Amino acid sequence: MPRKPDSSLSFLPLRSPLLRRIFRLPAAEPLPFILGARRIYILPTRQGLVFGLLLLGMLLGSMNYGLSMGFLFTFLLAGMLLSTLFSTWRGLLGLRLTGIEAESGFMGESVGFVFQLEGVGAQPGPGLFLESAGQRVPVQVRRPGFALAPLRLPARQRGRQALGPCRLFSEAPLGLFRAWCVLAPAVTVLVWPKPVPRGRPLPASGMGVEEAAVGRQRGTEDFDGLTAYQPGESPARLAWKHLGRLPEPLVKTFVSPHSDALWLDWSRLAGMETEQRLAQLARWVLRADQAGLSYGLILPASRIPPASGPGQRLRCLNALALHGLPDPESHAAV
């Protein structure tokens, strides 16, 4: 079991331009990122400082009493200390951050980031940790040269949440020194509005829940065409015959024999504030998805046609998360 590192060197919130310039930290770092020598910093830990004071005491005692064996052991331990310093620094040199997988979540819960590390001239070993926003996780080695670091951060506000500055550090092999690097990957994740605990029942769609489910099943027999594949679509709906002839996979779409559809309409929640409406719509999306219904979403600035499955659930929740927020690309263009 790896030893928990001490907190003698706290993680600096690198917000000011001066600190960002000192750590050579850009506004947003593209991936993949290779950790070079100029980005690694190293300082002694508490144990390292105590060890250094011990060596100083041994040196003074040997000089005072003229102990030859004292000098021998002092310089032997000093050489070991310097070797440990180089080994700790070398443990970070050449590491490559190849990607970060982001996992969305509801406001008030947590969002996930999984860091993928590869060793380029170095191997992620024991004693390697990742820290961000007060959260610290060990780097898990999956195979030689490849490691993962799953990090979960609190989701405090609806919309896009940036990962922010992170620190990758190591105290291996003896815990006498800590080498670290500060990273600022350009990664964001969507935070969905928190659903109301109970809220209103699903709106009427012209037919009951059981009838809507039956109508959706009958609709699977009426072929309507092919559309581009969306994440979360069922593999059973893939157009396997066209899979090897087209650059992108396609899925089969079907129409329902019923003209009625379950619409989750923004206008049905008149009199409620914006965030309350979004929370209620999020609850409706979860209920409709659990019931296996085909449903659509109507917002003031967007409209999602009726569908079902994990892909539809994700599309609706993402639309609710981004409702009323400025587009970052258009904002950057201005």
Q: What is the pLDDT along the chain (334 residues), one digit of tens a residue?
A: 334 444 433 444 455 566 556 655 655 677 888 888 888 999 999 999 999 999 999 999 999 999 999 999 999 999 999 999 999 998 888 889 999 999 999 999 999 999 999 874 445 556 789 998 888 999 887 777 788 899 999 998 999 999 888 899 998 888 899 999 988 888 899 999 999 988 788 887 644 344 444 444 334 445 556 677 666 666 766 766 666 666 677 776 665 544 457 899 999 998 899 999 999 999 999 999 998 888 999 999 889 999 989 999 999 999 999 998 887 553 333 2
CB-CB contact of 130 with 71 (8 Å): no
Same domain, 24 and 152: yes
pLDDT of residue 172: 85
Same domain, 21 and 159: yes
Which single residue is written with the structure tokens 């080695």?
141
Which residues share a beta bridge with 177? 44
CB-CB contact of 97 with 185 (8 Å): yes
Distance (Å, whole) CA 182 – CA 134:
14
pLDDT of residue 226: 67
Same domain, 269 and 146: no
Same domain, 106 and 166: yes
pLDDT of residue 190: 95
Same domain, 181 and 213: no
Same domain, 180 and 294: no
Same domain, 72 and 171: yes
Q: In this structure, is residue 126 part of a structural domain?
A: yes
pLDDT in tens, 210-256: 444 444 433 444 555 667 766 666 676 676 666 666 667 777 666 55
Q: In this structure, is residue 193 part of a structural domain?
A: no
Q: What six digits make up the tokens of 55? A: 């060596």
The one-letter amino acid code at 235 reads P
DSSP characters for 176-232? SEEEEEEE-B--EEEEEPPPPSS-PPPPP-SS-HHHHHHHHHHHTTSEEEEEE--TT
Q: In this structure, is residue 334 part of a structural domain?
A: no
Same domain, 168 and 271: no
Same domain, 226 and 81: no
Taking Cα atoms as reference points, which of 132, 46, 139 lies closest to residue 92?
Answer: 139
Q: In this structure, is residue 203 part of a structural domain?
A: no
Q: In this structure, is residue 12 part of a structural domain?
A: no
Distance (Å, whole) CA 230 – CA 8:
47
pLDDT of residue 313: 95
Share in percent of the chain as helix, strand, coil (round to 5): 35, 30, 40
Distance (Å, whole) CA 38 – CA 89:
11
Number of domains in the chain: 2
List the domain range (segments joined by +) for residue 52.
17-188
Same domain, 183 and 223: no
Q: In this structure, is residue 197 part of a structural domain?
A: no
pLDDT of residue 198: 80
pLDDT in tens, 268-284: 998 899 999 999 999 99
pLDDT of residue 9: 38
The radius of gyration of the chain's CA atoms, rounded to the nearest angstrom, is 28
Same domain, 46 and 158: yes
Same domain, 68 and 145: yes
Q: In this structure, is residue 308 part of a structural domain?
A: yes
Q: In this structure, is residue 86 part of a structural domain?
A: yes
